[in-house]
Chain A
Amino acid sequence: MIKAHPSDAMLYQYAAGDLSPALSLVMATHIDMCKHCQQKVSELEERLCEKHLVNESPALANHDCQRMLDAIFASEAPEQIICDQGPAMITLEGKRFHLPATLANNADRIGDWSHMVGKLWRAPLSIGSDDSINLIYMEQGAQVPEHTHRGVEATLVLNGTFNDEFDSYHDGDFILLDASRKHSPQTQMEDCLTLAALDAPLHFTSGISRLLNPFSSLFFR
């Protein structure tokens, strides 16, 4: 059972569309895996709608209305979006991993795997945005040296288990660490596949996370 969820504030920002693309992708993937947060997000969307759309607003000028209606009736139907809901798998080191829906729909964005150090592997996702997001694979018995983050790091366990000095995390667990938290993730008997995004503190306009920490730059080029 999932025990580590994003905070309510973060769910709210996600539902409002205020998080960066990378963090939004991690959140969306957690929500694929987590009924509890699915429910919360639909409630938040209702609340956001009440906040933003229910209040009385002055009518549009008649000529604006007519012009827009004409343009809409004359418009071509937007391109159809097809969501392939089929089970998507990735294979790594001879193991197959199932991808949750959002990742499966974006599977074409997953780049090549490269070996980092020790028992760590990484595949970047190219999302055309300045912030970075990677699949990180830790073999069993892998150890990541202690490090801090310049921005905020969001990690989602897709499959397996890892520990740090605070807790141990399993499938679906979502962990957010800010610059003040040092941690040193490690795996023991089990391997672990995670999705990790790095962002400057919850600001989606802030763009590139500049990483001065030498270890982090290994993760997030």
Chain B
Amino acid sequence: MQSVSNHASQRKVMKGAQSDSAERAAQLLANIAETKSREAFSELFSHFAPKLQAYGTRQFGNEQTAMDLVQETMTNVWHKAHLFKPDRGSPSTWIFTIARNIRFDLLRKNKHRKDEISADELWPILAETNDDPDDYSLDSSILMQEISAYYARLPDAQREVVEKIYIEGKSQQEVSDSLGIPLGTVKSRTRLALKKLKELIIEND
């Protein structure tokens, strides 16, 4: 993965590089979830650890606590990679929210009480869910009627995927096979489509 420049003239390049790096990170997370690949994790770690450390240092003003934040965040990534859902957001946002939760708890650690509400109870991003991790689970805030009312307004590539999954009831793997596109692409198109649908629903609410 490559770091990207913020320079304005490189905006276009940056966008491309960012989505490449997001796809790579999603792939690495999938490898970690499926095979516990240490190699995949090490690559992910060398990309995210420095960023997390910089975040921690800015937040805590303390190197040691910043390192604790890196370690706890990445430990969760290692054990909980299967909870990353590509359709809900990018890998870096997922990792950021884990770090945000750990920061929330670390800030209260010194006055810790045993019944204190923890970040996991407020933002249960690392809670196990019952759905099959391979099976795309429909965001419960979107109703089927809403999907059928608006999906025709999606860009062709996204509409095609939504149609097959939600109208024809195909699995993401089946869609990937039948369209001859990678599974990751099916997932990201589904995610973008649902995001767009949500916007359409809110606009027309």
Q: Which residues of A contact B (CB under 8 A)?
A: 1, 15-17, 21, 24-25, 28, 35-36, 38-39, 42, 45-46, 48-49, 52-60, 64-65, 68-69, 71-73, 75, 77-78, 80-83, 102, 105-106, 109, 126-129, 204
B129 sits at the interface (CB 8 A): yes
Contact assessment for A39 and B92 in the assembled complex, using a CB-CB cutoff below 8 Å = no
User: Is B145 interfacial (CB-CB < 8 Å)?
Assistant: no
Known: A35-B141, A52-B58, A105-B124. 4 other contacts (CB 8 A): A45-B93, A53-B48, A71-B75, A73-B38
A60 with B198: CB separation less than 8 A: no
Q: Is the CB–CB distance between B51 and A64 below 8 Å? A: no
Task: Kindly state the separation between the CA atoms of A65 and B202 in the bound complex, as whole angstroms.
Answer: 45
State the main secondary structure of chain B at its contact with A. helix
CA separation between A80 and B126, bound complex, in Å?
8
Q: Are A128 and B117 in contact (CB under 8 A)?
A: yes
Q: Are B54 and A57 in contact (CB under 8 A)?
A: yes
Q: A45-B93, A105-B124 are in contact. Are A17 and B101 (CB under 8 A)?
A: yes
Chain A's closest residue to B114 (CB) is: A128
Given A21-B117, A69-B42, A106-B117, A38 and B141 contact (CB-CB distance below 8 Å): yes
Bound CA span A89–B51, Å: 43
Q: Which of B71, B96, B123, B124 contacts A53 (CB 8 A)?
A: B96
Q: A54 to B202, Cβ gap below 8 A? A: no
Interface residues on B, range: 35 or more
- What are 16 residue pairs bridging A and B, where the CB atoms are less than 8 Å apart in the complex? A16-B100, A17-B100, A17-B101, A17-B104, A24-B122, A35-B202, A39-B202, A46-B93, A49-B92, A53-B51, A54-B51, A54-B92, A56-B3, A65-B45, A72-B71, A102-B122
CB distance from B115 to the nearest CB of A (A): 4
Q: Does B40 contact A (CB under 8 A)?
A: no
Residues of A within 8 A of B124 (CB): 81, 83, 105
A129 to B4, CA, bound (A): 41
Assess whether A73 is in contact with B78, with CB atoms less than 8 Å apart: yes
B133 contacts partner chain A, Cβ-Cβ < 8 Å:
no
Q: Which of B42, B100, B121, B141 has the most CB of A within 10 A?
A: B121
